Structure 1
Amino acid sequence: MKRGGRKARHAQRASKPQVSPAPPGQIGGRFRPLDEVDLLEIKATSFRLLAELGMGEVPNKLADLLIQGGASKQGSRICFPPHLVEDAIAAAPKSFTLHGRDPSRSIDIGGASVHFGTGGAAVQTLDLDTGLYRASTLADLKDFTRLQDTLENVSWFTRCCIATDVPDIFDLDLNTAFALLKNTTKPVATAFTVAENVAPIVEMFDIAAGGPGAFAKRPFVKAHISPVISPMRYGEDAVDVTFACLEHNIPVSCITAAQAGATAPATLAGFLAQSLAETLASLVMVHVIKPGHPMVFSNWPFVVDLRTGAFAGGGGETALLNAASAQLSNWLGLPSGVSASMSDAKAIDAQYGSEKAMTSLAAALAGGNLIYESSGMTASLLGASFEAFVLDDEMHSNTYRILRGCEVTEENLGFDAICEAVLGDGHFLGSGHTLAAMERDYVYPSLSDRDTPKGWEDAGAKDAWARANARAREILEEHHPTYLTAGQEAEIRAKFNIL
């Protein structure tokens, strides 16, 4: 009986717990790279930039609303008084729900809860067969969507690649959105190239949601928009898209994507001041168009290699700036979006792993509500990888575990368990105290190798890339969801050019 019990305990220890000990939504905010004086000085400088320098190239329709709201025209620029910016911050939702088509997959954002997701517009895909990059296609987007649909630590999905085989901009926007509708029920995000594309695509969303007007009542898609072009000016097309999205009640992620040393100061403090001012300019824009509309305050610090001018997705500066950005946004009480895990590595190698772990952990510890670009991206955002998706999902599980922290309770301190082990078997293996902690407190990797060198050799001496390649192939072979009914898909195909 003892031997049978021991075998059962060993089997229990070897199996992965059915419930994650640290699911998405863990609380960040312990890492604070800025002190209170830093935060106040950065805010003051950003407010001064908006009040004295203001924004350039403001489209007339937006300029009229800004001036009605209290802004002033100084030459060709529009300047924002501090009270207008403060009003926009006060009116902005401090938290809101990103709906999934499946309500159980919806996520609440705000406060200090942390969720990893996707982003990017990769024009190249790391091919599963050749291990080399090629142009991304619509088929790749569909495959990425259904792959991530199975990954529990990826909370939402933004299209991660551009279908370069779809040249028409309306067909591209439409078929990108359709790929999301058909292949996942998580919260999703997409982009609209021009404002005219919004209304017909919302019509497609209505079909999936149950009828005319249904989508606006519970929007399960948010829009990625970059209405501000660094340094300190608006982009007319993106502003027009913002107007259209707000008209259709689409939540927006207004993204500032300044690059330190190129379109913003190379000094980290100067960068943070300008980037904050620009993201606040997006918030004021949303406020004067539709006060209180849900907006993710997506202040994404980017870095260039000052030796060459090339974009740098990894590195300590990227990690620090995104953590500071998350801290600033949360300090203002706004739902924060930052970017991390944008490795410059082309291969799934040591550079890839170190850059992704460093940057994503820093952003999570700082409390970034939505950490974009954190799954699947490689090659300084030029590439997307199936293997990277499954490896990053496992990395996120460990990050969430770090965020969960160490619960100090009388039971966890284990005084009685320590006494029993010392006076009894001399170890803790198989004890009730250990088995309870095993199920409750530990994350067990399925891709990372913890075998002995001999066991690893006997299993084929595979590296992480090879193991992830096999896992991605397995998922793509087995997981073929269709989250549209036959009737919904037929109606969409009858009305639109689905490729």
Structure 2
Amino acid sequence: MKPAVQVLSTTEIAKIQEASLSILHEIGMRLPLEKVQSSLKDAGCTIDGDVVKIPPAVVGQAIKTAPKRDQVVLFARDPRFDVSFAAHDPALACMTMATNVIDPHTGVKRPAVTTDLVKLVRIADRLDFVRVNGGLVTPQEIPGKVNDWYTWASCIKNSVKHITGGVLDGRCVRDSARMAALACGGEEQFRRRPSISGWVLTLPPLGIDPGSLEALVEMASLNIPAIVSSGPILGATSPVTMAGTIAQAHAEILACLVVSQLTSPGAPFVYTSFARGMDMRSGNVSMAGPEFAALKVAMAQMGRSLELPIRMPAMLRDAKTLDAQAGFETGMVASLASCGADIMDSMQLDMDIVVDYADLVFCNECMTALNRFNKGVTVGDDHIALEVIRSVGPGGTYLAHEHTMKNFRDELWHPELLERRNWERWEADGSRDIRTVSLEKCLELMELEPRDYPPPPVRDEIDRIVEQARLDYEA
């Protein structure tokens, strides 16, 4: 049996689902795009300015046409790295849009630049349990309006894995798709295997900005998976109670699901939520508190009740450095979230605005342990091993037994970086802490060449798309 964590009962999930449907039908959601409002009106919704009231039947139809977990694949440029949701096999994804890095050579925090982004993408491309790549940092030397274009170009040119990124608007979706198509061999290949997905963030309470809504429509039209998240803050942009926040966040995601499925029935849709709490003393949000962990489990349950693929943030620590606090926050949130989430956003510190190069390797190591934990316990005759116990008998040893040699690699997790040697051997090896060990491994990975660098003509064409966007948006 595999481990399971629940904070909501079946009855409570149904009650929250009912409340979310009431929110959409009776209160509505701001959907400020005329073509979206027109299609919603045709479907039977009520329009009052920018606020759309969506009947339960319309939501039900969207749930029916949305592809289920076993039908969604996040395709990679290299098919070896495709991500399937058919079975629960949790892994990491690069979170996006941090603004600072901890320099791997000086240890000093500084603004992130494009060279950092390229290095981080290449490192993530080499880590086995980072299955979805992306722009961990947003280069701060790039003008804000075209930041997404530069980030997409850097990711697409330096990774063969599936990539998720921010999309400013519909044009950004189209240009990102053009870049990805160039890298994977043409538009026909991209249509069959779209190798990118885009973030769509709602604007709590009960809204979404026009650019994000336009991007959602464009992704559905192009069959690009939409990673849709509501990220309310308890007591600020949603009720301070977790149940109220879950109901509101779920309603916002359902509204986006309706838009996606009305645009293109069967468009791939991934459910996620950054619902989080606020530290009422400092005014800062918390991306790693116990409320955050409970909300990740609850929101994953709500998404799973619809049979949708689940992506949840799980390693976005409040800690400023890779210290004991970061370790505790990683263990608490990620352990709980991994039981319900298929993909977990990770590898950021300081409430998701700082990236430490060493943290990529550390999070990957943690994920190997969580992956083993989620395999659970296999119970069968060979695993109960009654005959083995009988043959060894009281006072014997299993160390040299054939059963041990046959099964120990599958049953026992063996870390690559975490310390298990005795004190003397660890001390003789330099008494290095986990950040030091992780950084050393990270520096080794930085020296490796990309797996499959697109040829110069492709890279040049990708850069031309970015440059044209810069000229147009700065005009």
Q: TM class, shorter-chain normalised?
A: over 0.9
Would the aligned equivalents of 2:153 and 2:466 in 1 still touch at CA under 8 Å? no
Taking a change above 3 Å as real, the CA distance of residues 111 and 91 of structure 1, as seen in their structure-2 partners, is: farther
Q: Which residue of 2 aligns with 1:177?
A: 152
Separation in structure 1 between the aligned mates of residue 37 and residue 424 of structure 2, nearest angstrom:
69
Using the TM superposition, give the Cα deviation of residue 385 of structure 1 relative to its aligned residue in structure 2, in angstroms.
1.6
Using the TM superposition, give the Cα deviation of residue 29 of structure 1 relative to its aligned residue in structure 2, in angstroms.
6.6
Identify which range, 264-273 or 489-498, moves more after superposition.
489-498
Number of positions where the alignment pairs a residue of Structure 1 with one of Structure 2: 467
Separation in structure 1 between the aligned mates of residue 50 and residue 369 of structure 2, nearest angstrom:
50
Matches within 5 A, 1:140-159: 140-159=116-135
Alignment gaps of 5+ in structure 1: 1-26
Separation in structure 2 between the aligned mates of residue 57 and residue 83 of structure 1, nearest angstrom:
18
Q: Which residue of 1 aligns with 2:94?
A: 118
| TM-score w.r.t. length of structure 2 | 0.93
Separation in structure 1 between the aligned mates of residue 3 and residue 249 of structure 2, nearest angstrom:
20
Separation in structure 2 between the aligned mates of residue 224 and residue 496 of structure 1, nearest angstrom:
19
Would the aligned equivalents of 2:96 and 2:166 in 1 still touch at CA under 8 Å? no
Would the aligned equivalents of 1:304 and 1:312 in 2 still touch at CA under 8 Å? yes
Q: Does 1:377 align with 2:348?
A: yes
Separation in structure 1 between the aligned mates of residue 467 and residue 230 of structure 2, nearest angstrom:
32
Separation in structure 2 between the aligned mates of residue 399 and residue 212 of structure 1, nearest angstrom:
37
Q: Which residue of 1 aligns with 2:418?
A: 448
Separation in structure 2 between the aligned mates of residue 454 and residue 413 of structure 1, nearest angstrom:
37
Taking a change above 3 Å as real, the CA distance of residues 492 and 339 of structure 1, as seen in their structure-2 partners, is: closer
Q: Which residue of 1 aligns with 2:473?
A: none
1:187 to 156, 162, 170: 162
Matches within 5 A, 1:75-90: 77-90=51-64
Separation in structure 2 between the aligned mates of residue 76 and residue 487 of structure 1, nearest angstrom:
45
Per-residue deviation, residues 96-122 of structure 1 (Å, max 9, x unmatched):
111011111101125644332121310
Using the TM superposition, give the Cα deviation of residue 494 of structure 1 relative to its aligned residue in structure 2, in angstroms.
5.9
Per-residue deviation, residues 46-103 of structure 1 (Å, max 9, x unmatched):
1111111001253222111111111112465211111011111111000311101111
Q: Which residue of 1 aligns with 2:385?
A: 414
Using the TM superposition, give the Cα deviation of residue 493 of structure 1 relative to its aligned residue in structure 2, in angstroms.
4.6
Q: Does 1:232 align with 2:206?
A: yes
Identify which range, 145-154 or 409-418, moves more after superposition.
409-418
Using the TM superposition, give the Cα deviation of residue 496 of structure 1 relative to its aligned residue in structure 2, in angstroms.
5.1
Taking a change above 3 Å as real, the CA distance of residues 252 and 432 of structure 1, as seen in their structure-2 partners, is: same
Using the TM superposition, give the Cα deviation of residue 432 of structure 1 relative to its aligned residue in structure 2, in angstroms.
1.4
Separation in structure 2 between the aligned mates of residue 291 and residue 349 of structure 1, nearest angstrom:
46
Amino acid at match of 1:370: I
Amino acid at match of 1:181: I
Would the aligned equivalents of 1:222 and 1:250 in 2 still touch at CA under 8 Å? yes
Identity rate, percent: 25
1:106 to 82, 89, 98: 82
Would the aligned equivalents of 1:300 and 1:337 in 2 still touch at CA under 8 Å? no
Taking a change above 3 Å as real, the CA distance of residues 113 and 446 of structure 1, as seen in their structure-2 partners, is: closer
Would the aligned equivalents of 1:224 and 1:254 in 2 still touch at CA under 8 Å? yes
Matches within 5 A, 1:249-288: 249-288=223-262
Separation in structure 1 between the aligned mates of residue 465 and residue 289 of structure 2, nearest angstrom:
47
Q: Does 1:368 align with 2:341?
A: yes
| TM-score w.r.t. length of structure 1 | 0.89
Amino acid at match of 2:387: D
Per-residue deviation, residues 17-41 of structure 1 (Å, max 9, x unmatched):
xxxxxxxxxx967112111121111
Using the TM superposition, give the Cα deviation of residue 382 of structure 1 relative to its aligned residue in structure 2, in angstroms.
0.9
Taking a change above 3 Å as real, the CA distance of residues 470 and 99 of structure 1, as seen in their structure-2 partners, is: same
Taking a change above 3 Å as real, the CA distance of residues 191 and 494 of structure 1, as seen in their structure-2 partners, is: closer
Per-residue deviation, residues 243-280 of structure 1 (Å, max 9, x unmatched):
23333332211221111121111111111111111111
Separation in structure 2 between the aligned mates of residue 125 and residue 187 of structure 1, nearest angstrom:
23
Q: Which residue of 2 aligns with 1:298?
A: 272
Separation in structure 2 between the aligned mates of residue 198 and residue 175 of structure 1, nearest angstrom:
13
Taking a change above 3 Å as real, the CA distance of residues 458 and 115 of structure 1, as seen in their structure-2 partners, is: closer
Using the TM superposition, give the Cα deviation of residue 190 of structure 1 relative to its aligned residue in structure 2, in angstroms.
1.4
Q: Which residue of 2 aligns with 1:404?
A: 375
Using the TM superposition, give the Cα deviation of residue 491 of structure 1 relative to its aligned residue in structure 2, in angstroms.
4.2
Matches within 5 A, 1:154-169: 154-167=130-143, 169=145
Would the aligned equivalents of 1:300 and 1:338 in 2 still touch at CA under 8 Å? yes
Using the TM superposition, give the Cα deviation of residue 197 of structure 1 relative to its aligned residue in structure 2, in angstroms.
2.9
Q: Which residue of 2 aligns with 1:463?
A: 433
Would the aligned equivalents of 2:232 and 2:249 in 1 still touch at CA under 8 Å? yes
Taking a change above 3 Å as real, the CA distance of residues 111 and 231 of structure 1, as seen in their structure-2 partners, is: farther
Amino acid at match of 1:446: E
Taking a change above 3 Å as real, the CA distance of residues 265 and 493 of structure 1, as seen in their structure-2 partners, is: closer
Q: Which residue of 1 aligns with 2:14?
A: 40
Q: Which residue of 1 aligns with 2:111?
A: 135
Separation in structure 2 between the aligned mates of residue 283 and residue 154 of structure 1, nearest angstrom:
27
Using the TM superposition, give the Cα deviation of residue 370 of structure 1 relative to its aligned residue in structure 2, in angstroms.
2.3
Q: Secondary structure of the residue that 1:117 maps to in structure 2?
A: strand
Using the TM superposition, give the Cα deviation of residue 207 of structure 1 relative to its aligned residue in structure 2, in angstroms.
1.8
Would the aligned equivalents of 1:110 and 1:369 in 2 still touch at CA under 8 Å? no
Separation in structure 2 between the aligned mates of residue 68 and residue 29 of structure 1, nearest angstrom:
44
1:310 to 279, 284, 299: 284
Q: Which residue of 1 aligns with 2:315?
A: 341
Q: Which residue of 2 aligns with 1:484?
A: 454
Taking a change above 3 Å as real, the CA distance of residues 28 and 44 of structure 1, as seen in their structure-2 partners, is: farther
Separation in structure 1 between the aligned mates of residue 465 and residue 168 of structure 2, nearest angstrom:
20
Q: Which residue of 2 aligns with 1:388?
A: 359
Alignment gaps of 5+ in structure 2: 471-475
Taking a change above 3 Å as real, the CA distance of residues 144 and 265 of structure 1, as seen in their structure-2 partners, is: same
Would the aligned equivalents of 2:276 and 2:291 in 1 still touch at CA under 8 Å? no
Identify which range, 463-472 or 194-203, moves more after superposition.
194-203
Taking a change above 3 Å as real, the CA distance of residues 207 and 189 of structure 1, as seen in their structure-2 partners, is: same
Separation in structure 2 between the aligned mates of residue 123 and residue 107 of structure 1, nearest angstrom:
27
Taking a change above 3 Å as real, the CA distance of residues 488 and 82 of structure 1, as seen in their structure-2 partners, is: same
Amino acid at match of 2:440: A
Separation in structure 1 between the aligned mates of residue 176 and residue 278 of structure 2, nearest angstrom:
35
Separation in structure 1 between the aligned mates of residue 196 and residue 167 of structure 2, nearest angstrom:
12
Q: Secondary structure of the residue that 2:417 maps to in structure 1?
A: coil
Would the aligned equivalents of 1:257 and 1:300 in 2 still touch at CA under 8 Å? yes
Amino acid at match of 2:167: F
